[in-house]
């Protein structure tokens, strides 16, 4: 695949098999990054009129298309998902410790914050184990039915296992109409086809551009169901941007998703995001099409591991059924860190989390790349 000549296509570049962790930026992002600088230099104070009038609407439209949302105004942007987590938490009751239902496999942007709040007895957290995977949805649903929770939070694709769930099951699970439902879509957005239209009026969905969207850091977003949490306590001045010059009393908020805006942030990620989306459209590359391509690489990779009888093979996959898997492979092994380190010494990049060796392929890979990786893993394990 052309389009990555400045990163993984450059001479001496590593064999990068961690597309799920840090996706290389396509070449088109260089001009986008420069455009952000030139607009700032050219427009000065009027830069924000251009950002809010052109750049953000374009990015919103791309996301609405990808998630099948009928109203792009339900999308708000921020520098990271953690800022949105804090803003959502600020919407919860202060009369008592909020009750939160989640899983034991959430990424650190959420799990670390919850653990710290638990130390202060500021929240009460119930965690449902994702394993065994076959019973997860039923066990999560049963737990939701047993308690009155203020917040239900879980991933669309879990970062440690690649186990994928259909976000719509959560809305069916939660009966309390006061409960906030939040889906962490960071490993789902642009990795697997995602359809939110049926749940868009009820569920918050957060994700970002760092991974499969190929836009780098600083371009995260939150889909906000209309009417939910109209006045977050954690608020930045952009949340009232439209009312800035109107004056009046009280703290004004926008009525659309902008009510969840923070404050001044680096907008270059939005330029990169738009450039990548326009490039993908020009190349006729869809989320489903890219997933099909990667699935083919995964099958070739796993078949080669088994063919050469590698010590770490398809039998070690945490999720063997690709229909239940996101867009990366997770192997369970006590030697995950050692394997990742040995591959790095051979200019091959994978990553690990605890006893999980994670491998992700992208549209810039060829079958020869995955065969090379399989043979390298057989040699060093």
Question: Which residues, including other chains, have CB under 8 Å from residue 366's CB and lie 6 or more apart?
Answer: none
pLDDT of residue 254: 93
Question: Which residues, including other chains, have CB under 8 Å from residue 12's CB and lie 6 or more apart?
Answer: none
Beta bridge mates, 353? 356
**For the segment 320-369, what is each residue's pLDDT rounded down to a tens digit?**
999 999 999 999 999 999 999 999 999 999 999 999 999 999 999 999 99
pLDDT of residue 242: 67
pLDDT band at 1 (very low <50, low <70, confident <90, very high): low
CB 351 within 8 Å of CB 18:
yes
Cα dihedral 177, 147, 105, 89, rounded to 10, equals 50
Task: Write out the DSSP string of 271-332.
Answer: HHHHHHHHHHHHTT--HHHHHHHHHHHHHHHHHHHHHTT-SS-GGGBS---GGGB-SSEEEE
Question: Which residues, including other chains, have CB under 8 Å from residue 158's CB and lie 6 or more apart?
Answer: 103, 105, 106, 130, 164, 187, 326
Sign of CA dihedral 277, 282, 284, 285: negative
CA Rg, the chain, in Å?
21
Query: What would the mean pLDDT of 130-144 be, rounded to a whole number?
Result: 96
- What pTM was estimated for this model as a whole? 0.95
Q: Is 264 in a helix, a strand, or coil?
A: coil
Q: How does strand 99-103 pair with strand 151-155?
A: parallel
Phi, psi of 194 (to 5 degrees): -130, 125
**For the segment 105-134, what is each residue's pLDDT rounded down to a tens digit?**
999 999 999 999 999 999 999 999 999 999
Report whether pLDDT(88) > 70. yes
Beta bridge mates, 205? 183, 223
CB 273 within 8 Å of CB 215:
yes
**For the segment 301-310, what is each residue's pLDDT rounded down to a tens digit?**
999 999 999 9
pLDDT of residue 342: 96
Q: What percent of the chain has pLDDT over 90?
A: 92
Query: What would the mean pLDDT of 271-276 be, rounded to a whole number?
Result: 98
pLDDT of residue 192: 98
The Cα–Cα gap between 88 and 180 comes to 9
pLDDT of residue 224: 98
Count of beta carbons in the 10 Å neighbourhood of residue 246:
8
CB 272 within 8 Å of CB 216:
yes
The Cα–Cα gap between 250 and 297 comes to 56
Q: What residue ranges define each of the domains in the chain, with the CATH number in brackets?
A: 28-280 (3.40.640.10), 286-380 (3.90.1150.10)
The Cα–Cα gap between 111 and 91 comes to 18
Report whether pLDDT(147) > 90. no
């Amino acid at each position: 695949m052309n389009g990555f000549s400045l990163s993984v296509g450059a001479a001496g570049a590593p064999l990068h098999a961690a597309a799920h962790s840090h996706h290389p930026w396509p070449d088109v992002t260089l001009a986008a990054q420069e455009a952000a600088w030139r607009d700032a230099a050219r427009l000065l104070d009027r830069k924000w009129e251009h950002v809010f009038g052109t750049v953000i609407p374009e990015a919103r439209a791309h996301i609405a298309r990808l998630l099948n949302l009928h109203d792009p105004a339900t999308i708000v942007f921020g520098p990271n998902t953690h800022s949105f987590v804090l803003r959502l938490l600020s919407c919860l009751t202060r009369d008592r410790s909020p009750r939160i239902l989640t899983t034991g496999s959430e990424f650190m942007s959420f799990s670390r914050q919850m653990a710290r709040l638990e130390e202060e007895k500021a929240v009460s957290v119930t965690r449902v184990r994702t394993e065994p995977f076959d019973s997860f949805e039923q066990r999560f649903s049963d737990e939701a039915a047993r308690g009155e929770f203020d917040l239900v939070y879980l991933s669309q694709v879990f970062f440690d296992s690649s186990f994928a769930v259909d976000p719509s099951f959560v809305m069916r699970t939660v009966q309390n109409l006061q409960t906030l439902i939040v889906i962490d879509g960071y490993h789902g957005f642009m990795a697997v086809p995602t359809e939110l239209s049926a749940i868009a009026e009820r569920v918050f969905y957060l994700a970002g551009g760092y991974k499969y969207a190929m836009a780098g850091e600083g371009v995260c977003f939150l889909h906000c169901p209309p009417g939910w949490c109209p006045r977050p306590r954690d608020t930045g001045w952009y949340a009232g941007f439209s009312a800035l010059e109107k004056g009046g009393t009280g703290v004004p908020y926008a009525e659309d998703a902008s009510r969840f805006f923070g404050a001044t942030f680096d907008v270059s990620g939005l330029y990169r995001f738009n450039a990548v989306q326009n490039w993908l459209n020009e190349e006729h590359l869809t989320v489903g099409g890219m997933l099909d391509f990667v699935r083919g690489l995964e099958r070739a990779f796993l078949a080669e591991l088994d063919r050469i009888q590698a010590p770490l093979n398809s039998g070690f996959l945490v999720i063997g059924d690709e229909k239940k898997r996101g867009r990366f492979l997770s192997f369970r092994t006590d030697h995950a860190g050692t394997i990742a380190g040995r591959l790095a010494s051979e200019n091959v990049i994978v990553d690990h989390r605890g006893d999980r060796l994670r491998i992700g392929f992208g549209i810039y890979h060829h079958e020869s790349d995955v065969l090379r990786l399989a043979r390298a893993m057989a040699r060093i394990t």
